[in-house]
Chain A
Amino acid sequence: MSSPQIEIQIIAALVAVSCAIPGVFLVLRKMALISDAISHSILPGIVLGFFITQDLNSPLLIILAAGTGIITVVLVERIQKTGLVKEDTAIGLVFPALFSVGVLLIAKNANDIHLDVDAVLLGELAFAPFDRFLLLGIDAGPKAAWIMGVILLITLSLLYLFFKELKVSTFDVGLSSALGFSPAILHYGLMSVSSVTVVGAFDAVGAILVVALMIAPAAAAYLLTADLKKMLWLSVFFGVFAAISGYWLAHWLDSSIAGSITTVLALVFLLVYFFAPKKGLLSVMYRQKQQRTEVSLLTFLLHLNNHQETQERHINHLREHINWQQVKANTVVGLALDNNLITITNEVISLTTKGLSFTQTALEYIITNKDDKIEHLKDDFFLFRG
């Protein structure tokens, strides 16, 4: 690996981690769309900042552009608060308007400045190592790495200091406010961090792909864990994994790095979406199928419970009477047998003691809806987990 290759991967990983952290909170707060809005509406801020500083990596430019991000959030909230339009409409109105101002500013001054819309939208990681950071005249590495490093350091410190406040205000705004942790301060704090991160990252990965780095890792992590800290770690892991493997995918395809990173992110999300152990699509479908079987099982057991006479409990009669197809009947009978809920003697089915008590507990649950009765059954059966 050449040193620019390593540098590109370091920058990509730094961007990925910086995006993944605020991304987790945006996803949990159901504000994923706002990151899209911020990433576009920072354009006029970037252009104005560039007019003033003539340097795409100047801290002043980052602050100015992040300011436009905050203005976006405030405008969306103001418009929404009038009650005349809904939030998604407000977002859809605000960011194209601000973005278009940026486009006009660039077009009007296209001859004078070294900045075009493509660069803002798509970024170019491959060029990042060319822009060096000179510390006392010595080459200290690519500027982009320093900028993202500083942003990441700030993000991590804020996360460490205010983790509990962020958690409570994300989970329960009312409690957060009542306890004295102003939800507004935390909200705008998160928005500021998100805006600064987007501005810092757009140069490398572009304003569109930065959204993917914020949302996709968090969305995938959300499906895998029920613990906020683990969700943060997983998001960071997915982000870095996509950044590094995306780089090598681009290398192999000889194509855009940012595009490859996002492709990897999409694949990671799809894999998790289908195969996540508890919340994945396959797992959910399997569970629903199990639940259907178990409802059938319960119906079957209730029938046995209701009928003492032998002919009602004859195996052939049950097939006719409950009117299940043979396959399903076999599944249900098999399940009941496996769990020692029934015995079959001379093709007549009887409830065992266990089956009887199970049926009665289930009945009681259905009638009273009391959860404590069925706690011990939950491990064996999906039915009661709803």
Chain B
Amino acid sequence: MRRLAIALAAAAALAAGTLQASAERLITSISRHQVLVSSNFTGTSIVLFGTIEPDTPTARRRAATYNLVAVVSGPKQTTVTRRKERVLGIWTNADSRTFVGVPSYLAVLANRAIPDIASADLLRRLQIGFDNTVLPQQIGADVGDVARDDPFRANFIRLKRQQGLYMEVTNGVTFLTPTVFRAGIPLPAGTPVGNYDVTVRVFADGNQLAQANSAFEVVKVGFEQFIAGAAHDYGLLYGIATAIMAIFTGWLASVMFRKD
């Protein structure tokens, strides 16, 4: 009877693409829920770890085939991608595309090559991998994603990868035992401040078995927070203070170096 129920659930899941009444429980935790950016911040990394608990004997048997994908998505940003072209013998920014509300940081960590984990259709639906992530562009008055081989899209991803803000790591998740895993999330020096969403998904035989969500935030603290806050909230005063600081520094130097 129980097997039948699982079989029915599996059939339902195949139809729906995801397994709702899953036989696996996914428990995850991250090493820090807050990354503090202070004046000596030069990048860091946080660790995601977790365990997959198979509840049924059937589930236990397929434990060896678990695949895991963790997607870390940073605060949304609007970014312009420009292309230089030769105009009258001069290289200048000619064409451009505006990417609206795209993740400023995107890490796709998996334990194997992403196409091997699930069907292309399912991966696209779950937005796993750069090719499947929706990167909406401003097209006239509308906003929409374009073909995957669009040069602006490809170069946007390439430049973000160069900055260390986008990454697709196929050995980013390590299974310590067939059910216990860990993954390092590298945060480079230029990591944007804001909220980060972590979505972890377990797959077996091309189906999603379980999903867990988590989050962390990157915040400025102390002096950094004070300066950024003052610049943002009291722009005029901040500007006047900076100008006075400039004049004072100049005056101090001219007094200190005075010869007569």
Partners in one complex: no
Chain B residues near A (Cβ < 8 Å):
none
Chain A residues near B (Cβ < 8 Å):
none
